A and B are shown apart, each in its own frame.
Chain A
Amino acid sequence: ETGVTQTPRHLVMGMTNKKSLKCEQHLGHNAMYWYKQSAKKPLELMFVYNFKEQTENNSVPSRFSPECPNSSHLFLHLHTLQPEDSALYLCASSQAGQDTEAFFGQGTRLTVV
């Protein structure tokens, strides 16, 4: 198993659909993150979870709903999305503390039609 695994790799959904993105880390880390990568924009940190608790929400619209049932799994539930939400969604994990680095998954390419 690779360090951080995201499924699905590609997702096309209509604006009225409900879908979920899944992330699993096999690194024993205790912090997990969701990032959004849009064309020509810096990576945007969406959510941070430390020890399963959400510690950061960067003003993300409520149509994105994260869930972290344990330190190894992170979900992003999607509903009533807009076309501008189309992007690459990256999950990352790290060991909470100083001098840490984030390990990224391969991302889910989301297209909202």
Chain B
Amino acid sequence: AQSVTQLGSHVSVSEGALVLLRCNYSSSVPPYLFWYVQYPNQGLQLLLKYTSAATLVKGINGFEAEFKKSETSFHLTKPSAHMSDAAEYFCAVSDTGTASKLTFGTGTRLQVTL
């Protein structure tokens, strides 16, 4: 069975500061990992995905994530936060490589302050 744990339901950073959102996964097979972002009153938008190619994955809006098998982690980072990054972020795992078997974490709400 696969599962995802997102540490910290709320994260607050200052504008220009590093963003670090944590995600740990559990999967019995090599996983496919995803980060989605949800802006207020919107659906989910894919930020980036790991599909067993490069362990450092670059996504949209300056975000990137690194797959670390030894730590079973896929943390999301951005060097410099912008006010427009305020949103909820979801980590998801699939152990079949298909979108039909996504298991999501509970989400982390990112607040960006001046």
* Chain A, 4-31, CB within 8 A of any chain B CB: 4, 6, 31
Which residue of the partner chain, among B32, B90, B100, contacts A96 with CB atoms under 8 Å?
Answer: B100
Complex contacts, B104 vs chain A, CB 8 Å:
42-43
In the bound assembly, the distance between CA atoms of A34 and B97 in angstroms comes to: 19
Q: How large is the interface on A (under 10, 10 to 19, 20 to 34, 35 or more residues)?
A: 20 to 34
Which residue of the partner chain, among B49, B99, B106, contacts A92 with CB atoms under 8 Å?
Answer: B99
Binary flags per residue of B46-57, CB closer than 8 Å to A gives 1, else 0: 100101000000
Q: Is the CB of A94 within 8 A of B106?
A: no
B13 within 8 A of A: no
Q: Is the CB of A4 within 8 A of B43?
A: yes
Residue of B nearest to A45 (CB): B102
In the bound assembly, the distance between CA atoms of A103 and B101 in angstroms comes to: 14
With A99-B32, A101-B34 already in contact, the answer to whether A33 and B100 are too (CB < 8 A) is: yes
In the bound assembly, the distance between CA atoms of A107 and B4 in angstroms comes to: 23
Q: Is the CB of A101 within 8 A of B46?
A: yes
With A101-B34, A104-B45, A106-B43 already in contact, the answer to whether A42 and B97 are too (CB < 8 A) is: no
Which residue of the partner chain, among A40, A104, A107, contacts B106 with CB atoms under 8 Å?
Answer: A40
* Chain B, 63-102, CB within 8 A of any chain A CB: 90, 97-100, 102
- Could you tell me the distance in whole angstroms from the C-beta of A87 to the nearest C-beta in chain B? 14
Which residue of the partner chain, among B34, B46, B100, contacts A50 with CB atoms under 8 Å?
Answer: B100
Q: Is the CB of A55 within 8 A of B97?
A: no
Q: Is the CB of A104 within 8 A of B100?
A: no
Complex contacts, B103 vs chain A, CB 8 Å:
42
- Could you tell me the distance in whole angstroms from the C-beta of B42 to the nearest C-beta in chain A? 5
Most chain B beta-carbon neighbours within 10 Å: one of A42, A104, A109: A42
Complex contacts, B44 vs chain A, CB 8 Å:
43, 90, 92, 102, 104
Complex contacts, B36 vs chain A, CB 8 Å:
104
Q: Is the CB of A94 within 8 A of B100?
A: yes
Q: Which residues of A contact B (CB under 8 A)?
A: 4, 6, 31, 33, 40-43, 45, 48, 50, 55-56, 90, 92, 94, 96-107, 109
